[in-house]
Amino acid sequence: MSFIEIEFTGQQKTFRAELLDQTAPKTCEALRSMLAEPVVGASYHSIYSGQEFYVYCPPVDLPLENHVVWPKPGQIVYYYFPENMYAGMHVHKDRIQGDGAEIALWYGHGDLRVVSETGIRGNLFAEIVPEQLDDFYAAGDHVLAHGREDIIIRLAD
C-alpha cells in the first residue's frame, strides 16, 4: 500500500489517504510523478457537487478509470480540464490559463450527475484512511464555514 498526505495549513491538521493502485493504476502512477514535488494551493469549495473542496494541480491528460458519480466521504478524485472545454467554465476561467486540473477532496457526500452529463469525468484514485474520516469531515466543514486555506498534498513516507 502507498499513501499521500493532505495537510490543512491553517488548521494544522494532516490526513493520510491510501492510493487505489488496483482500480486506478494509471492515475496513481501519474499522481506519484506529479507529487515528486508537493502540490500547494488554496482550497476552493465546490459550487455544484456537494461537500467537496479542490486544489488546482498540474494538468495531465489521463484516460478515464475508476469514474465515480456519487462520491462518498473521504474519496479523492483527479479531474482534467482541456483548455477549450471545461477550463473555460466560469469557476475556472480566471484562475487557470490553458489546460487545467484539480484534485477534489470529498469530506461529505456528493452528486456528480450534472457534472458528468456535461462530459467532465474524474478518476477516483485515493481514499482517506477510515480512522480519520470524522476529523476529515470536520476539517472540510471548517473550510466551508471559514473560507479558503492553503492545502499541501504530498507523497507520504
- Is residue 135 within 8 A of residue 78, CB to CB? The reply is no
Domain count, the chain: 1
pLDDT tens digits for 97-148? Answer: 678 889 999 998 887 766 666 667 789 999 999 999 999 999 999 999 998 9
Q: How far apart, in whole angstroms, are the C-alpha atoms of residue 60 and residue 147?
A: 28
Say which CATH number the domain at 122 has: 2.40.100.20
What is residue 154's predicted lDDT score, i.e. its pLDDT? 98
What is residue 87's predicted lDDT score, i.e. its pLDDT? 46
Domain of residue 122, residue span: 3-155
pLDDT tens digits for 18-77? Answer: 999 999 999 999 999 999 999 999 998 887 788 899 999 999 999 999 988 889 999 999
- What would the DSSP string read from start to end of 111-147? --HHHHHTT--EEEEEEE-GGGHHHHHHHHHHHHHH-
- Is residue 124 within 8 A of residue 69, CB to CB? The reply is no
Question: Band of the pLDDT at 82, cuts 50, 70, 90?
Answer: confident
- Is residue 31 within 8 A of residue 125, CB to CB? The reply is yes
Q: How far apart, in whole angstroms, are the C-alpha atoms of residue 142 and residue 9?
A: 12
Question: Band of the pLDDT at 93, cuts 50, 70, 90?
Answer: low
